[in-house]
Chain A
Amino acid sequence: MVVTDTRNSTPIRTWARGNRDLPGRLLDRIVGWFVTDRHADHGLAVMRIASGSFLLGWLLVNLPIASRIWGPGSAYWQPYRGNLGYKFPFDLLQQAGSGFFWLWYVVTIALVVAFVLGWRTRIVTPLLFIAYTALNGQNTPISDGGNYFIRIMLIYLILVDVSRRWSLDSRRRAKKSSPETQTGSVLHNIGLCLVVAQICIVYLEAGLYKVQGTLWQNGTAVYYPLQSEAYGVFPPLADFMTHWTFPVVIATYVTVLAQIAFPFLLFNKITRRIALIVLLGMHVSIAIAMGLPFFSGIMASADAVLVSGATWIAIVTWLRTTLTGNRAAQAIGVRVTAMRRRSGKKSAGADGSDSAADGGRTAESSTVDSESEFPVADDTDNSTQSADDSATSDSDVTSDGVDAWSDPAETAEGSASSVPADEQNLVDAAATAQKTPRGRRRAGGAASTIRKK
């Protein structure tokens, strides 16, 4: 039994004595967070794909009038934009002719496509930032909050490994077993912190400005833009939405409260989900009722980084199950597999090789492969280094090999013992998702369909 002398001791002193190493432990924890893994990689992949898709849509929608609003036709803005501080290379379009402008525009579209697909993003992301910013700088007044937001985000995403999941880069890395460096992980996590901080700043400050406004205070603010010509895209819908006082007041107050409270609601899992759902609802409403789909879409895309990897894997698993688990998809899968098998036999016969793995596949296993459209073969090998190993060398990896495109259930079998704890949670969640009745129907469905045949 330990006897403590309490004569010269207060609870605070006792606590302080027992936690002398707290600053050191805290520092270790912070450093460990930055070093051991590249966090929110699934959320960042969703953000990359979604915001890139909105950006692509925006460029395509404006294609017919691009020359007028950003190209030579925007020269009327020169007295104004020449003073905004866009220097080389962001001012390259200001005096450009139409040929150079269209080349720039097409290259920008190509960069966005590469960004969405996650192809060479370490190079593509900074180039996209330059291309997009120069374009945007031609006519800043015409930009909305989404344009500003994605421009800032692209700067932060230069630091981030945005293609770690669900990308062409991740497939290539899986084949090459490219190691992940500690420095890369540190930069990735700092970039992630910047992205999250920027999201919080946007919502918090939008809310802080709103509480200062009389019309936001009296609960009628959302009525006004909806009744304007510029933002009341569907006048009958706007009239319906603003007909009764109660929904107008509720919508106004919920908007203000959700925006101000957003950064604080992130600290708890439940409140974070509530906040994200409320804001998603707000963005959808703005997109439809106010005719701002690209603004809302880009803002909502960034919120994806705040959704856990487990949730994204579960969502993707559910989507794939839904899309590939129906009879039509299975029938297509069987046909494709049969065609592949026939062509495989032909080529095997032609070169004289005898591949048991390819040539001897059963119909069942082939059907499962057809669901895994993206290769899963090599990825598990790349994830065999443990978290402890990764700390011993700059060139060690932290489980890059678990290819995001791979079937989560297969990944769980193939590499469960080799992935870090966080990754294991994601894999467990995905495996759980796979055990749902729908998942079982999918796994066995292919076989039963074939047996019936």
Chain B
Amino acid sequence: MAKPRIHRLPAVVLTIVGLLAAGHIGATLAFTGPNTPLKESLQPTLNSYFRGPLDQGWSLFAPAPYSKDEYMVVRACLSEYDVCAGGADAGAELTPWRNVTEDEFAEIDYNIFADRGARQSKVMHGRFWSAASNLTGEQQTTAEGNHIDGEPVFGVDLYSSEAEETYSSSQLSNLRRYQRLEDSAVGLGSLYMYEDYGDDVTLVEVRMLREAVPPFSKRHDPSAELSQSWLNIGWRPATEFDEEVYAAWS
């Protein structure tokens, strides 16, 4: 058999694209793999390379499998802003708690082709819980308080130079991430409350509940108590959106 001859252009393409491809696969292996000293040594380059369209992660139910039920519960205050600020004692009209995750999951029961709307609050829960868990105890307590006057939750604009002086870079990174997810969670909670109560919604309060699946050894014991844990976002002003957002949720 005659030896295959490669021409100049394909040879250049093979060399350059081949090297780039090999480098990309090596980087993917390092980025998506378990933590190793090699991975740490390549940071933050790896993180910046895999931002956006190349982002990926393949732990897939590992190292710990999904072993809990995650719920997002919301309620709203329907009174005027000043009345809501005084709480129930001042005559504020509060809605009952709504477990929006439970409502979404109704679509999943016996239906493998449920749309993704059935998982909106569940994925919000997962992202928020992870961010809130990175806060210190004091920061968590602050976040669980009521902040209804529109002032920053942590008392300082997290993107200001003052914040950079107050917090270390890793703390600031955690706080900013938390704030982004709190804003998103309050936004989602507000939309659910608008859906139920319309424009009367003034404030919203969001709580995240985790309920453990019974341990394998107690799976046949219906009386087994399920452990619960909560993370709360105190009262916040309901997020306001454009008309098109409300139209999509109507």
Residues of A within 8 A of B (CB): 28, 31-32, 34-36, 61-62, 64-65, 67-69, 71-73, 75-80, 83-87, 90, 97-98, 133, 137, 139-142, 145, 148-149, 151-152, 155, 159, 181-183, 185-187, 190, 193-194, 197-198, 201-202, 205-206, 208-210, 212-216, 220-225, 227-231, 233-234, 242, 248, 287-288, 291-293, 387-388, 390-392, 394
- Identify which of residues 1-46 in chain B touch chain A, using a CB-to-CB cut-off of 8 Å: 1-7, 9-11, 13-14, 17-18, 21, 24-25, 28-29, 32-34
- With beta carbons under 8 angstroms apart, the residue of B7, B62, B109, B244 that contacts A206 is B62
- With beta carbons under 8 angstroms apart, the residue of A193, A208, A224 that contacts B65 is A224
- Contact check, B110 vs A234: say whether CB atoms are below 8 A apart: yes
Residue of A whose beta carbon sits closest to that of B190? A76
Tell whether B200 is near chain A: CB-to-CB under 8 Å.
Answer: no
- Contact check, A85 vs B184: say whether CB atoms are below 8 A apart: no
Tell whether B201 is near chain A: CB-to-CB under 8 Å.
Answer: no
- Contact check, A73 vs B245: say whether CB atoms are below 8 A apart: yes
Task: Report the Cα distance A198→B25, complex, angstroms.
Answer: 7
Interface centre among B14, B34, B67 (most CB of A within 10 A): B14
Residues of A near B114 (CB, < 8 A) are: 291
Residues of B near A214 (CB, < 8 A) are: 63-64
- With beta carbons under 8 angstroms apart, the residue of B3, B113, B117, B244 that contacts A69 is B117
14 contacting pairs across A/B (C-beta < 8 A): A28-B4, A31-B14, A76-B184, A79-B183, A80-B127, A80-B184, A97-B244, A142-B120, A190-B21, A205-B29, A221-B61, A225-B65, A230-B105, A387-B1
Closest Cβ–Cβ distance, residue B187 to chain A (whole Å): 3
Interface centre among A80, A193, A392 (most CB of B within 10 A): A80
User: Which of B48-56, B83-91, B146-154 faces chain A?
Assistant: B48-56
With A72-B245, A159-B17 known, 11 other A-B pairs at CB within 8 A are A34-B10, A61-B113, A62-B117, A75-B241, A79-B181, A87-B52, A98-B244, A209-B62, A221-B62, A225-B67, A234-B110
- Known contacts A227-B219, A228-B67, A228-B213, A210 near B115 by CB under 8 Å: no
Residue of A whose beta carbon sits closest to that of B63? A213
- Contact check, A186 vs B14: say whether CB atoms are below 8 A apart: yes
Task: Report the Cα distance A187→B105, complex, angstroms.
Answer: 45
- Known contacts A76-B191, A80-B184, A291-B112, A215 near B248 by CB under 8 Å: no
Residue of A whose beta carbon sits closest to that of B188? A76
Closest Cβ–Cβ distance, residue B162 to chain A (whole Å): 20
Residue of A whose beta carbon sits closest to that of B213? A227
Residue of B whose beta carbon sits closest to that of A65? B117
- Contact check, A67 vs B248: say whether CB atoms are below 8 A apart: yes
Tell whether B196 is near chain A: CB-to-CB under 8 Å.
Answer: no
- Contact check, A72 vs B247: say whether CB atoms are below 8 A apart: yes
Closest Cβ–Cβ distance, residue B196 to chain A (whole Å): 15
- With beta carbons under 8 angstroms apart, the residue of B11, B24, B58 that contacts A145 is B58
- Known contacts A84-B55, A227-B219, A233-B110, A76 near B6 by CB under 8 Å: no
- Contact check, A223 vs B219: say whether CB atoms are below 8 A apart: yes
Residues of B near A208 (CB, < 8 A) are: 33-34
Residues of B near A185 (CB, < 8 A) are: 10
Residue of B whose beta carbon sits closest to that of A213? B63
- Contact check, B245 vs A75: say whether CB atoms are below 8 A apart: yes
Residues of B near A194 (CB, < 8 A) are: 21, 24-25
Task: Report the Cα distance A251→B241, complex, angstroms.
Answer: 47
- Known contacts A77-B184, A98-B244, A208-B33, A224 near B62 by CB under 8 Å: no
Tell whether B98 is near chain A: CB-to-CB under 8 Å.
Answer: no
